Amino acid sequence: MPARSDITYFGAGPAALPTQVLQTASQALVDFQGTGLGIAEHSHRSAIATKILEEAKADLASYLDVPEDYEILFMQAGGTGEFSATIYNLVGAWVTRKQQEAEKAGADKAKVQADLKKQVDEQLKLDYVVTGGWSLKAYQEACRLLGPEHVNLVADARTINDGKFGKIPEESTWQLSQDPAMVYYCDNETVDGVEFPKFPEALAPKADGTGPIVVADMSSNILSRRIPIKNFSLIFFGAQKNLGSTGITVVIVKKSLLPPVCPQPSPTLLRQLGLPIGPIVLSYEIIAKNNSLYNTLSIFDVYIAGLVLKKLLASFPDKVDGQEAVANKKAKLIYEALESHPDAYRIVPAPGNRSRMNICFRVIKGGDMDAAEKAFLEKSKQQGLEGLKGHRSVGGIRASNYNAVPLEGAEKLAKFIGQFANE
Protein backbone atom coordinates (compact mmCIF):
# COMPACT_ATOMS: atom_id res chain seq x y z
CA MET A 1 0.00 0.00 0.00
CA PRO A 2 1.34 3.47 -0.86
CA ALA A 3 2.24 5.92 1.89
CA ARG A 4 0.75 9.42 1.91
CA SER A 5 4.16 10.79 0.91
CA ASP A 6 4.06 8.65 -2.26
CA ILE A 7 0.87 10.32 -3.54
CA THR A 8 0.31 13.64 -5.26
CA TYR A 9 -3.43 14.22 -5.42
CA PHE A 10 -4.84 16.33 -8.24
CA GLY A 11 -8.54 15.74 -7.49
CA ALA A 12 -10.94 18.60 -8.11
CA GLY A 13 -12.67 18.47 -4.73
CA PRO A 14 -12.72 17.45 -2.02
CA ALA A 15 -9.11 18.40 -2.63
CA ALA A 16 -5.84 17.60 -0.93
CA LEU A 17 -5.04 19.18 2.42
CA PRO A 18 -1.56 19.88 3.82
CA THR A 19 -0.31 16.84 5.76
CA GLN A 20 0.75 19.04 8.67
CA VAL A 21 -2.81 20.39 8.96
CA LEU A 22 -4.29 16.89 8.95
CA GLN A 23 -1.88 15.70 11.61
CA THR A 24 -2.77 18.58 13.92
CA ALA A 25 -6.48 18.20 13.23
CA SER A 26 -6.42 14.45 13.84
CA GLN A 27 -4.99 14.99 17.31
CA ALA A 28 -7.54 17.74 18.03
CA LEU A 29 -10.33 15.41 16.95
CA VAL A 30 -9.48 13.11 19.87
CA ASP A 31 -8.41 15.66 22.48
CA PHE A 32 -8.43 19.39 21.80
CA GLN A 33 -5.71 21.21 23.73
CA GLY A 34 -5.92 18.96 26.77
CA THR A 35 -9.64 19.46 27.37
CA GLY A 36 -10.37 15.74 27.28
CA LEU A 37 -12.88 16.31 24.48
CA GLY A 38 -12.37 16.32 20.74
CA ILE A 39 -12.91 19.55 18.82
CA ALA A 40 -16.02 18.13 17.12
CA GLU A 41 -17.54 17.48 20.55
CA HIS A 42 -17.23 20.99 21.94
CA SER A 43 -20.35 23.13 21.75
CA HIS A 44 -20.49 25.61 18.89
CA ARG A 45 -21.63 28.11 21.56
CA SER A 46 -18.54 27.58 23.71
CA ALA A 47 -15.71 30.06 24.25
CA ILE A 48 -13.42 27.57 22.46
CA ALA A 49 -15.61 27.61 19.35
CA THR A 50 -15.90 31.40 19.40
CA LYS A 51 -12.12 31.77 19.56
CA ILE A 52 -11.63 29.37 16.63
CA LEU A 53 -14.22 31.24 14.57
CA GLU A 54 -12.83 34.69 15.33
CA GLU A 55 -9.24 33.64 14.61
CA ALA A 56 -10.25 32.12 11.27
CA LYS A 57 -12.05 35.33 10.30
CA ALA A 58 -9.12 37.48 11.33
CA ASP A 59 -6.57 35.32 9.52
CA LEU A 60 -8.66 35.24 6.34
CA ALA A 61 -9.04 39.04 6.48
CA SER A 62 -5.29 39.40 6.97
CA TYR A 63 -4.29 36.98 4.21
CA LEU A 64 -6.60 38.52 1.60
CA ASP A 65 -6.49 42.10 2.95
CA VAL A 66 -10.26 42.20 3.39
CA PRO A 67 -11.33 45.82 4.07
CA GLU A 68 -13.09 46.68 7.32
CA ASP A 69 -16.34 47.55 5.57
CA TYR A 70 -16.84 43.87 4.64
CA GLU A 71 -18.32 41.10 6.81
CA ILE A 72 -17.04 37.52 6.77
CA LEU A 73 -19.69 34.84 7.24
CA PHE A 74 -19.28 31.10 7.71
CA MET A 75 -22.28 29.27 6.28
CA GLN A 76 -23.43 25.84 5.14
CA ALA A 77 -25.07 24.38 1.99
CA GLY A 78 -21.96 24.75 -0.17
CA GLY A 79 -21.46 26.85 -3.26
CA THR A 80 -24.66 25.41 -4.71
CA GLY A 81 -26.57 26.77 -1.72
CA GLU A 82 -25.09 30.19 -2.50
CA PHE A 83 -26.63 30.06 -5.99
CA SER A 84 -29.93 30.48 -4.13
CA ALA A 85 -28.70 32.58 -1.20
CA THR A 86 -27.32 35.32 -3.46
CA ILE A 87 -30.67 35.55 -5.21
CA TYR A 88 -32.77 35.75 -2.05
CA ASN A 89 -30.50 38.27 -0.36
CA LEU A 90 -29.64 40.55 -3.25
CA VAL A 91 -33.16 40.68 -4.65
CA GLY A 92 -34.17 41.66 -1.13
CA ALA A 93 -31.48 44.35 -1.07
CA TRP A 94 -32.71 45.66 -4.43
CA VAL A 95 -36.29 45.87 -3.11
CA THR A 96 -35.10 47.69 0.04
CA ARG A 97 -33.15 50.18 -2.04
CA LYS A 98 -36.16 50.92 -4.24
CA GLN A 99 -38.40 51.19 -1.18
CA GLN A 100 -36.03 53.65 0.51
CA GLU A 101 -35.87 55.76 -2.66
CA ALA A 102 -39.68 55.92 -2.82
CA GLU A 103 -40.02 56.78 0.87
CA LYS A 104 -37.45 59.60 0.55
CA ALA A 105 -39.58 61.04 -2.22
CA GLY A 106 -42.42 61.37 0.31
CA ALA A 107 -44.82 58.84 -1.21
CA ASP A 108 -47.45 57.32 1.09
CA LYS A 109 -47.36 53.64 2.02
CA ALA A 110 -49.95 52.53 -0.55
CA LYS A 111 -48.16 54.34 -3.38
CA VAL A 112 -44.77 52.98 -2.29
CA GLN A 113 -46.08 49.42 -2.48
CA ALA A 114 -47.79 50.01 -5.84
CA ASP A 115 -44.58 51.52 -7.25
CA LEU A 116 -42.53 48.64 -5.87
CA LYS A 117 -44.78 46.08 -7.52
CA LYS A 118 -44.51 47.90 -10.83
CA GLN A 119 -40.72 48.09 -10.58
CA VAL A 120 -40.44 44.42 -9.70
CA ASP A 121 -42.60 43.45 -12.66
CA GLU A 122 -40.88 45.74 -15.15
CA GLN A 123 -37.33 46.39 -13.95
CA LEU A 124 -36.05 43.63 -11.66
CA LYS A 125 -33.16 41.81 -13.36
CA LEU A 126 -30.31 39.56 -12.32
CA ASP A 127 -27.37 39.40 -14.72
CA TYR A 128 -25.35 36.22 -15.32
CA VAL A 129 -22.13 35.77 -17.27
CA VAL A 130 -22.11 32.08 -18.19
CA THR A 131 -18.63 30.73 -18.90
CA GLY A 132 -18.88 27.14 -17.68
CA GLY A 133 -20.91 24.49 -15.91
CA TRP A 134 -21.10 26.21 -12.52
CA SER A 135 -22.18 29.65 -13.70
CA LEU A 136 -24.71 27.86 -15.91
CA LYS A 137 -26.14 26.11 -12.84
CA ALA A 138 -26.33 29.43 -11.01
CA TYR A 139 -28.15 31.00 -13.97
CA GLN A 140 -30.58 28.10 -14.13
CA GLU A 141 -31.30 28.41 -10.41
CA ALA A 142 -32.14 32.09 -10.86
CA CYS A 143 -34.56 31.22 -13.66
CA ARG A 144 -36.14 28.56 -11.45
CA LEU A 145 -36.60 30.82 -8.43
CA LEU A 146 -37.55 34.11 -10.10
CA GLY A 147 -38.68 33.17 -13.59
CA PRO A 148 -36.64 33.73 -16.77
CA GLU A 149 -38.26 37.13 -17.31
CA HIS A 150 -36.20 38.45 -14.40
CA VAL A 151 -32.89 36.87 -15.46
CA ASN A 152 -30.59 38.35 -18.08
CA LEU A 153 -28.00 36.20 -19.83
CA VAL A 154 -25.16 38.71 -20.22
CA ALA A 155 -23.03 36.30 -22.25
CA ASP A 156 -22.98 32.59 -23.01
CA ALA A 157 -19.49 31.28 -23.79
CA ARG A 158 -20.88 28.35 -25.76
CA THR A 159 -22.06 30.66 -28.53
CA ILE A 160 -18.47 31.48 -29.51
CA ASN A 161 -16.99 27.98 -29.16
CA ASP A 162 -19.11 25.56 -31.21
CA GLY A 163 -21.56 24.95 -28.38
CA LYS A 164 -18.90 24.11 -25.80
CA PHE A 165 -17.31 26.00 -22.94
CA GLY A 166 -13.65 26.92 -23.17
CA LYS A 167 -13.56 30.64 -23.97
CA ILE A 168 -14.70 33.83 -22.25
CA PRO A 169 -16.62 36.13 -24.62
CA GLU A 170 -15.14 39.56 -25.28
CA GLU A 171 -16.50 42.07 -22.79
CA SER A 172 -17.53 44.36 -25.65
CA THR A 173 -20.20 41.76 -26.51
CA TRP A 174 -21.68 41.54 -23.01
CA GLN A 175 -25.30 42.66 -22.69
CA LEU A 176 -25.56 44.12 -19.19
CA SER A 177 -28.85 45.26 -17.70
CA GLN A 178 -29.46 48.72 -16.32
CA ASP A 179 -29.41 48.67 -12.51
CA PRO A 180 -29.54 44.87 -12.01
CA ALA A 181 -29.92 43.43 -8.52
CA MET A 182 -26.54 41.79 -9.16
CA VAL A 183 -24.09 40.76 -11.86
CA TYR A 184 -22.90 37.21 -11.26
CA TYR A 185 -19.92 35.34 -12.61
CA CYS A 186 -17.75 32.35 -11.66
CA ASP A 187 -14.10 33.38 -11.46
CA ASN A 188 -12.81 29.87 -12.13
CA GLU A 189 -14.76 27.04 -13.76
CA THR A 190 -13.47 23.70 -12.47
CA VAL A 191 -15.21 21.49 -15.04
CA ASP A 192 -14.04 23.35 -18.12
CA GLY A 193 -10.70 24.75 -16.96
CA VAL A 194 -11.63 28.37 -17.61
CA GLU A 195 -10.47 31.21 -15.36
CA PHE A 196 -10.92 34.98 -15.69
CA PRO A 197 -7.38 36.36 -16.05
CA LYS A 198 -8.36 39.48 -14.09
CA PHE A 199 -11.37 41.39 -12.83
CA PRO A 200 -13.68 42.22 -15.80
CA GLU A 201 -13.23 45.83 -16.87
CA ALA A 202 -16.91 45.98 -17.88
CA LEU A 203 -17.85 45.58 -14.20
CA ALA A 204 -15.27 47.95 -12.72
CA PRO A 205 -16.58 50.74 -10.46
CA LYS A 206 -16.67 54.24 -11.87
CA ALA A 207 -14.49 57.12 -10.68
CA ASP A 208 -17.22 58.25 -8.28
CA GLY A 209 -17.30 54.78 -6.69
CA THR A 210 -20.63 53.74 -8.18
CA GLY A 211 -21.01 50.61 -10.23
CA PRO A 212 -22.83 47.30 -10.48
CA ILE A 213 -23.34 44.96 -7.54
CA VAL A 214 -20.84 42.28 -8.53
CA VAL A 215 -21.07 38.75 -7.11
CA ALA A 216 -18.38 36.14 -7.75
CA ASP A 217 -18.12 32.44 -7.07
CA MET A 218 -14.45 31.89 -6.16
CA SER A 219 -14.83 28.40 -4.75
CA SER A 220 -11.93 26.94 -6.71
CA ASN A 221 -9.34 29.73 -6.91
CA ILE A 222 -9.74 31.60 -3.63
CA LEU A 223 -6.47 32.10 -1.68
CA SER A 224 -4.46 31.52 -4.88
CA ARG A 225 -4.17 35.11 -6.08
CA ARG A 226 -4.78 38.69 -4.99
CA ILE A 227 -8.37 39.90 -5.36
CA PRO A 228 -9.53 43.51 -5.81
CA ILE A 229 -12.11 42.98 -3.09
CA LYS A 230 -13.36 46.58 -3.26
CA ASN A 231 -14.69 45.83 -6.76
CA PHE A 232 -17.05 43.17 -5.39
CA SER A 233 -20.19 43.44 -3.35
CA LEU A 234 -20.05 39.75 -2.48
CA ILE A 235 -17.64 36.84 -2.89
CA PHE A 236 -18.42 33.29 -1.84
CA PHE A 237 -16.44 30.06 -1.84
CA GLY A 238 -16.79 26.52 -0.64
CA ALA A 239 -13.91 25.47 1.60
CA GLN A 240 -13.05 22.16 -0.04
CA LYS A 241 -10.66 23.35 -2.72
CA ASN A 242 -8.05 25.69 -1.22
CA LEU A 243 -9.33 26.49 2.28
CA GLY A 244 -10.25 23.29 4.09
CA SER A 245 -12.65 20.39 4.25
CA THR A 246 -16.16 19.96 2.88
CA GLY A 247 -18.88 21.37 5.12
CA ILE A 248 -18.50 25.13 5.31
CA THR A 249 -18.92 27.97 2.84
CA VAL A 250 -17.48 31.44 3.30
CA VAL A 251 -19.19 34.66 2.24
CA ILE A 252 -17.38 38.01 2.13
CA VAL A 253 -20.07 40.66 1.82
CA LYS A 254 -20.18 44.45 1.92
CA LYS A 255 -21.64 45.68 5.20
CA SER A 256 -23.72 48.16 3.20
CA LEU A 257 -25.83 45.18 2.06
CA LEU A 258 -26.61 44.28 5.67
CA PRO A 259 -28.56 46.05 8.46
CA PRO A 260 -28.72 48.78 9.53
CA VAL A 261 -28.00 50.19 6.07
CA CYS A 262 -29.96 47.58 4.12
CA PRO A 263 -32.39 45.44 6.15
CA GLN A 264 -34.17 42.68 4.26
CA PRO A 265 -37.82 43.28 3.28
CA SER A 266 -40.44 41.61 5.44
CA PRO A 267 -41.85 38.25 4.29
CA THR A 268 -45.26 39.95 4.00
CA LEU A 269 -43.92 42.53 1.55
CA LEU A 270 -42.11 39.88 -0.51
CA ARG A 271 -45.33 37.86 -0.77
CA GLN A 272 -47.22 40.95 -1.89
CA LEU A 273 -44.58 41.59 -4.55
CA GLY A 274 -44.72 37.98 -5.76
CA LEU A 275 -41.11 37.29 -4.81
CA PRO A 276 -39.73 34.11 -3.19
CA ILE A 277 -38.89 34.02 0.51
CA GLY A 278 -35.61 32.27 1.24
CA PRO A 279 -34.85 29.81 4.04
CA ILE A 280 -33.68 31.59 7.16
CA VAL A 281 -30.38 29.68 7.21
CA LEU A 282 -29.49 31.35 3.89
CA SER A 283 -30.16 34.86 5.20
CA TYR A 284 -26.97 36.91 5.38
CA GLU A 285 -28.72 39.27 7.78
CA ILE A 286 -29.51 36.45 10.22
CA ILE A 287 -26.10 34.76 9.90
CA ALA A 288 -24.26 38.07 10.43
CA LYS A 289 -26.42 39.00 13.42
CA ASN A 290 -25.62 35.64 15.03
CA ASN A 291 -21.88 35.65 14.27
CA SER A 292 -22.30 32.67 11.90
CA LEU A 293 -23.84 30.63 14.74
CA TYR A 294 -27.57 30.83 14.04
CA ASN A 295 -27.62 27.04 13.77
CA THR A 296 -24.97 24.40 14.56
CA LEU A 297 -21.89 25.26 12.55
CA SER A 298 -19.20 22.60 12.06
CA ILE A 299 -16.48 24.08 14.24
CA PHE A 300 -14.16 21.21 13.28
CA ASP A 301 -14.31 22.36 9.64
CA VAL A 302 -13.72 25.97 10.69
CA TYR A 303 -10.75 24.76 12.76
CA ILE A 304 -9.23 23.01 9.72
CA ALA A 305 -9.72 26.15 7.63
CA GLY A 306 -8.05 28.16 10.38
CA LEU A 307 -5.06 25.80 10.40
CA VAL A 308 -4.71 26.16 6.63
CA LEU A 309 -4.78 29.96 6.93
CA LYS A 310 -2.19 29.95 9.72
CA LYS A 311 0.07 27.74 7.62
CA LEU A 312 -0.30 30.09 4.63
CA LEU A 313 0.45 33.16 6.74
CA ALA A 314 3.51 31.44 8.24
CA SER A 315 4.74 30.28 4.81
CA PHE A 316 4.29 33.57 2.96
CA PRO A 317 5.30 36.82 4.68
CA ASP A 318 3.84 38.63 1.66
CA LYS A 319 0.59 36.70 2.20
CA VAL A 320 -1.49 35.88 -0.88
CA ASP A 321 1.09 37.37 -3.25
CA GLY A 322 3.55 34.66 -2.25
CA GLN A 323 1.06 31.87 -2.86
CA GLU A 324 0.07 33.44 -6.18
CA ALA A 325 3.69 33.26 -7.38
CA VAL A 326 3.83 29.55 -6.50
CA ALA A 327 0.44 28.83 -8.13
CA ASN A 328 1.53 30.56 -11.32
CA LYS A 329 4.83 28.66 -11.41
CA LYS A 330 3.12 25.29 -10.97
CA ALA A 331 0.58 26.02 -13.70
CA LYS A 332 3.30 27.24 -16.07
CA LEU A 333 5.25 24.01 -15.60
CA ILE A 334 2.27 21.81 -16.47
CA TYR A 335 1.04 23.88 -19.42
CA GLU A 336 4.54 24.09 -20.91
CA ALA A 337 4.89 20.31 -20.65
CA LEU A 338 1.61 19.87 -22.53
CA GLU A 339 2.49 22.49 -25.16
CA SER A 340 5.81 20.78 -25.79
CA HIS A 341 3.96 17.73 -27.16
CA PRO A 342 1.16 18.97 -29.46
CA ASP A 343 0.96 15.57 -31.14
CA ALA A 344 0.12 13.91 -27.83
CA TYR A 345 -2.04 16.47 -26.01
CA ARG A 346 -4.71 19.07 -26.73
CA ILE A 347 -5.37 21.70 -24.08
CA VAL A 348 -9.12 22.34 -23.85
CA PRO A 349 -9.58 26.07 -23.02
CA ALA A 350 -8.28 28.95 -25.11
CA PRO A 351 -4.83 30.31 -24.14
CA GLY A 352 -6.05 33.58 -22.62
CA ASN A 353 -8.64 31.84 -20.44
CA ARG A 354 -6.71 28.86 -19.11
CA SER A 355 -7.23 28.12 -15.46
CA ARG A 356 -4.24 27.96 -13.16
CA MET A 357 -6.26 25.76 -10.81
CA ASN A 358 -7.90 23.19 -13.12
CA ILE A 359 -5.76 22.23 -16.10
CA CYS A 360 -8.02 20.40 -18.56
CA PHE A 361 -6.65 18.54 -21.56
CA ARG A 362 -7.21 15.58 -23.86
CA VAL A 363 -4.72 12.86 -24.73
CA ILE A 364 -4.75 12.48 -28.52
CA LYS A 365 -1.64 10.34 -28.92
CA GLY A 366 -2.17 7.43 -31.32
CA GLY A 367 -5.54 8.62 -32.61
CA ASP A 368 -7.68 6.63 -30.19
CA MET A 369 -8.39 9.23 -27.50
CA ASP A 370 -10.33 6.92 -25.17
CA ALA A 371 -7.58 4.31 -25.17
CA ALA A 372 -4.86 6.94 -24.82
CA GLU A 373 -6.54 8.58 -21.85
CA LYS A 374 -7.15 5.26 -20.16
CA ALA A 375 -3.46 4.42 -20.54
CA PHE A 376 -2.48 7.89 -19.28
CA LEU A 377 -4.58 7.48 -16.13
CA GLU A 378 -3.31 3.96 -15.45
CA LYS A 379 0.34 4.88 -15.85
CA SER A 380 0.04 8.14 -13.93
CA LYS A 381 -1.48 6.22 -11.04
CA GLN A 382 1.56 3.94 -11.03
CA GLN A 383 3.65 7.08 -10.55
CA GLY A 384 1.58 8.16 -7.53
CA LEU A 385 -0.28 10.84 -9.52
CA GLU A 386 -3.90 10.50 -8.44
CA GLY A 387 -7.21 12.25 -9.18
CA LEU A 388 -6.48 13.16 -12.81
CA LYS A 389 -9.70 11.93 -14.40
CA GLY A 390 -11.78 14.71 -15.96
CA HIS A 391 -15.27 15.66 -14.85
CA ARG A 392 -17.89 13.06 -15.74
CA SER A 393 -19.77 15.54 -17.94
CA VAL A 394 -16.85 16.28 -20.27
CA GLY A 395 -14.30 13.49 -19.81
CA GLY A 396 -10.64 13.97 -20.58
CA ILE A 397 -7.90 14.69 -18.05
CA ARG A 398 -8.00 17.36 -15.36
CA ALA A 399 -5.11 18.27 -13.07
CA SER A 400 -6.47 20.36 -10.21
CA ASN A 401 -3.51 22.44 -9.17
CA TYR A 402 -4.78 23.72 -5.81
CA ASN A 403 -2.60 25.32 -3.14
CA ALA A 404 -1.95 22.07 -1.25
CA VAL A 405 -0.33 20.51 -4.34
CA PRO A 406 3.38 21.14 -3.74
CA LEU A 407 5.71 22.49 -6.41
CA GLU A 408 7.40 19.08 -6.43
CA GLY A 409 4.05 17.50 -7.31
CA ALA A 410 3.61 19.79 -10.30
CA GLU A 411 7.17 19.02 -11.40
CA LYS A 412 6.45 15.29 -11.12
CA LEU A 413 3.33 15.61 -13.27
CA ALA A 414 5.12 17.74 -15.87
CA LYS A 415 7.87 15.12 -16.09
CA PHE A 416 5.34 12.31 -16.51
CA ILE A 417 3.50 14.27 -19.25
CA GLY A 418 6.76 14.33 -21.21
CA GLN A 419 7.59 10.70 -20.54
CA PHE A 420 4.15 9.46 -21.62
CA ALA A 421 4.29 11.51 -24.83
CA ASN A 422 7.70 10.07 -25.73
CA GLU A 423 6.89 6.41 -25.09
Residues 368-393: pLDDT tens digits? Answer: 999 999 999 999 999 999 999 999 99
User: Is residue 41 within 8 Å of 420, Cβ to Cβ?
Assistant: no
Q: What is the pLDDT of residue 391?
A: 95
CATH T-level topology, domain 51-302: Aspartate Aminotransferase; domain 2 (3.40.640)
**In which band, very low, low, confident or very high, does the pLDDT at 110 lie, cut at 50, 70 and 90?**
confident
The answer on pLDDT for 105 being more than 80 is no
pLDDT at 107: 72
pLDDT digits (tens, 9 = 90+) for 179-221: 999 999 999 999 999 999 999 999 999 888 789 999 999 999 9
Active-site pick, 167, 241, 365, 412: 241
Q: Give the list of residues 6+ apart from residue 291 with CB closer than 8 angstroms, or none.
A: 50, 53
Angle of CA points 394, 396, 402, to nearest 5°: 95
| Rg of the chain on CA atoms, in Å | 23
Q: Catalytic residue at 217?
A: yes
Question: From the CB of residue 318, how many other CB atoms can be counted at a distance below 10 Å?
Answer: 10
**Given 59, 94, 98, 134, the catalytic residue:** 134
Supply the mean pLDDT for the chain: 96
Burial class (CB in 10 A: 0-12, 13-18, 19+), 132: buried
User: Does the annotation mark 94 as catalytic?
Assistant: no
pTM metric for this prediction: 0.96
Domains 51-302 and 318-422 in one fold = no
Given this model, what pLDDT does residue 102 score? 87
* Topology of the domain comprising 318-422: Aspartate Aminotransferase, domain 1 (3.90.1150)
Give me the pLDDT at residue 191, please: 96
Tally the C-alpha atoms within 13 A of residue 294's C-alpha that lie toward its C-beta: 17
Q: What is the pLDDT of residue 109?
A: 83
Nearest Cα to Cα of residue 364 among 381, 331, 341, 398: 341
Which residue of the set 59, 187, 217, 301 is catalytic?
217
Show me where the domains of the chain are located.
51-302, 318-422
- Is residue 6 annotated as part of the catalytic site, yes or no? no
Q: 406: which residues sit within 8 A by CB, 6+ positions away?
A: 8
**Res. 340: pLDDT tops 80:** yes
